[in-house]
Amino acid sequence: MKRIHIGFISTRFAGIDGVSLEANKWAEIFQQSGHKCYWFAGQLDRQPKRSLLVPEAHFQHPKNQWINEQIFGKKGRTNTVTELIHTLRSLLKIQLYQFIDRFNIDLLIAENVLTIPLNIPLGLSLAETIAETEMPTIAHHHDFYWERERFAVNAVNDYLRMAFPPKLPNIKHVVIHSDAQEQLALRTGISSIIVPNVLDFENPPEVNAQGAAAFRKSIDLKPEDKMILQPTRIIRRKGIEQAIALVKELKDPRYKLVISHESGDEGHEYTEWLIDYALENGVDLRMVNTQVADPWNGNGSYRSKYTLWNIYPHADFITYPSFYEGFGNALIEAVYFKKPLLINRYPTFARDIEPKGFDLVVMDGYLSKSTVYRVKEILESPELREKMVNTNYEVASHHYSYAVLRNQLTTIMNELFDGPEEHLSESSLDPQNIIHLTSKKDRSPAQQNIS
């Protein structure tokens, strides 16, 4: 019995999108137990010696963008499109086998790549690779294609049924909320386990005062200014116009709205509209124009001046008016840094998170006068704010801590690497108790032949 090698696969592991962040938290838990983690994607900011960068794996690769233009919003596809899909599928499959062989991978973790069909060839190639190698796999699903309007009309239903996600006996499926679990079972017959997004609430954040002050200076905030932080990417479903409306209604020029993440995943039109909307409403909007790094990836190949942990400490209030979220990382990040926040009752929050007992300012699709009054009350009362953030930290510690993730990964690993006498501890992923099932002699002939 040996420590295992774990291969994370996605279109992108870079920056501070939710998939990249959660993958790093999983990797941190595994590495604490002595396992080694490796990375496969089309964009990477991980250690090169533990990574395989394949540009065609990125959803923004020109060939994938062209394919997506031909297949989404349309009901039929041409032979040319089909041929390109399979050409890329074959290329990516070779690269996946090389990744498995180069790093002697024992367990694959597919991060949303078998969930959202932004790279159809990669999903197909990975599904085939998993089937052929019988490699133990965890498919970590963040948001399914049927949850997104943009994928409702498409010319690839055959591929979606095949690989998004595939139904294979060696895959354990993980979802991040209860509606996804129900819909996955209803639509595909696939059972899954719910693993929420987490943070290390057992260890409060260590604030780098110098880095936080440098970030504040970089966006030209004066000592008397108050930061209203929108800690999300700039995409339409984040409802950032509601944050602009809130700052307008606060009617205090000291309050500046700061958006921490970049735009671009879904184009720049929404960004340009937000800039105009803020100007029309007299709101001082600051957009971070430098790459913000993932705080869990300090040893990555990409170096950034600032991480998320430099931004949160200086926020006076957090806005999170999303219409839809798979889970809601910004919520637990705000709670982790003991910041008060405004949140819209998006479906996953209303069903899975709100019942836990958080003390938040909640809006239900629109910004009411009473909601604005509640925000002002919190901003002006240190006592009220202190009580609120301490309550939230305690609730989150119980439901969204690393201990929760560690226990659930233990359960999944027991099922994937089971044996008549070997089972993992309920309290930790002890590397001495994991069976090394996929040594080179156990792998497929095709896998053995790759050099």
Q: Does 204 reside within a domain?
A: no
Tell me: pLDDT of 80 over 70.
yes
Tell me: pLDDT of 265 over 60.
no
Please tell me whether residues 114 and 32 are part of one structural domain: yes
Tell me: pLDDT of 327 over 80.
yes
- pLDDT score at 444: 41
Q: What is the largest CA-CA distance in the chain?
A: 69
Higher-pLDDT residue of 312 and 294 is 312
- Read off the pLDDT of each residue in 336-361 and give the average, rounded to a whole number: 96
Please tell me whether residues 386 and 429 are part of one structural domain: no
Please tell me whether residues 63 and 175 are part of one structural domain: yes
Q: Which pLDDT band holds residue 311 (cuts at 50, 70, 90)?
A: confident
Hey, what are 8's tokens?
Answer: 């994370």
CA 244, CA 256: separation in Å to the nearest integer?
10
Average pLDDT, the chain: 87
Q: What CATH number is attached to the domain comprising 126? A: 3.40.50.2000
CA 438, CA 434: separation in Å to the nearest integer?
12
Containing structural domain, residue 441: 5-198+401-449
pLDDT digits (tens, 9 = 90+) for 126-174: 999 999 999 999 999 999 999 988 999 999 999 999 999 999 999 999 9
Tell me: pLDDT of 75 over 90.
yes
Tell me: pLDDT of 254 over 60.
yes
Final residue before a domain boundary, out of 374, 399, 424: 399
* The Cα angle at residue 65 between residues 107 and 164, in degrees rounded to 5: 40
Q: Which pLDDT band holds residue 217 (cuts at 50, 70, 90)?
A: confident
Q: Does 45 reside within a domain?
A: yes
- Read off the pLDDT of each residue in 78-93 and give the average, rounded to a whole number: 98
Final residue before a domain boundary, out of 399, 415, 434: 399
Tell me: pLDDT of 117 over 50.
yes
Q: Which pLDDT band holds residue 306 (cuts at 50, 70, 90)?
A: low
User: Of the spans 151-165, 198-212, 213-227, which averages the highest pLDDT?
Assistant: 151-165
Tell me: pLDDT of 434 over 90.
no
Please tell me whether residues 234 and 137 are part of one structural domain: no
Please tell me whether residues 443 and 318 are part of one structural domain: no
Hey, what are 342's tokens?
Answer: 């405004």
Please tell me whether residues 394 and 417 are part of one structural domain: no
Q: Does 267 reside within a domain?
A: yes
Q: Phi, psi (5° rounding) for residue 410?
A: -60, -45
Higher-pLDDT residue of 100 and 269 is 100
Tell me: pLDDT of 354 over 70.
yes
Q: Does 228 reside within a domain?
A: yes
- pLDDT score at 264: 57
Please tell me whether residues 124 and 215 are part of one structural domain: no
Q: Which pLDDT band holds residue 422 (cuts at 50, 70, 90)?
A: very low
**Contacts within 8 Å (CB) and 24+ apart, 74-79:** 74/153, 74/154, 74/155, 75/153, 75/154, 75/155, 76/155, 77/155, 77/156
The domain total for the chain is 2
Please tell me whether residues 223 and 155 are part of one structural domain: no
Q: Which pLDDT band holds residue 5 (cuts at 50, 70, 90)?
A: very high
Please tell me whether residues 190 and 312 are part of one structural domain: no
For residue 290, give the 3-state DSSP assignment.
coil
Q: Does 370 reside within a domain?
A: yes
Instruction: Please give the single-letter amino acid code of residue 13.
Output: F
CA 347, CA 369: separation in Å to the nearest integer?
23
Tell me: pLDDT of 343 over 70.
yes
Tell me: pLDDT of 410 over 50.
yes
Which pTM does this prediction carry?
A: 0.81
Q: Which pLDDT band holds residue 304 (cuts at 50, 70, 90)?
A: low
CA 383 to chain centre: 34
Tell me: pLDDT of 448 over 60.
no
Please tell me whether residues 358 and 232 are part of one structural domain: yes
Q: Does 203 reside within a domain?
A: no
Higher-pLDDT residue of 234 and 53 is 53
Q: Reading across the β-sheet that carries 5-9, which strands appear in turn?
A: 51-53, 36-41, 5-9, 107-111, 137-140, 171-175, 193-194
Q: Does 307 reside within a domain?
A: yes
Please tell me whether residues 105 and 68 are part of one structural domain: yes
- Percent share of the chain, pLDDT over 90: 71
Is residue 49 within 8 Å of residue 141, measured between CB atoms? no
Q: Residue 149, by phi and psi: left (phi above 0), alpha (psi -120 to 50) or beta?
A: alpha
Please tell me whether residues 261 and 408 are part of one structural domain: no
Tell me: pLDDT of 440 over 70.
no
Hey, what are 29's tokens?
Answer: 């838990």
Q: Does 380 reside within a domain?
A: yes
Final residue before a domain boundary, out of 377, 399, 421: 399
Q: Which pLDDT band holds residue 293 (cuts at 50, 70, 90)?
A: low
